[in-house]
Amino acid sequence: MKPLETRTDIEFLVNRFYHKVRADEKIGIFFTEIVKVNWEFHLPKMYNFWETLLFGKAVYKGNPMAVHFPINAKKAMEKEHFNRWLELWTKTVEENFTGKMAKSAVSKAKNIADLMAFKMEIARR
């Protein structure tokens, strides 16, 4: 294992993570059936998102919350789904990276999961 410190590391992490996500019984359906994600478009966006979040490079353009509301309207995105997302992310980080940035990647993901779950629940009321 090595420190999480480059864009290449982020790409590796994101690719490994989404490989798990697609195969996951609990949340895979959101990506494969409900949204039918265009991976050639989605993955580079996620590389940029995490590079911005972890390394402070302003390469991500978008509004993650706004993208998820229409999905939530089709199929409820509940706390258990975000917990699973976080579990897969944490496992992927911890299997491959160590150090401060790896811990930050998990901490930031927890904050994202908590906020997204809260906002999606409110939107369903």
CB 109 within 8 A of CB 102: no
State the pLDDT confidence band at 125, using cuts at 50, 70 and 90: confident
Residues near 82 by beta carbon (within 8 Å), at least 6 away in sequence: 113, 114, 116, 117, 120
- Class of the CATH-defined domain 2-124: mainly alpha
pLDDT in tens, 69-103: 999 999 999 999 999 999 999 999 999 999 999 99
Sketch the domain layout of the chain as residue ranges. 2-124
Q: How far apart are CA 5 and CA 105, in angstroms?
A: 11
CB 79 within 8 A of CB 115: no
Q: How far apart are CA 42 and CA 106, in angstroms?
A: 20
pTM of the predicted protein model? 0.94
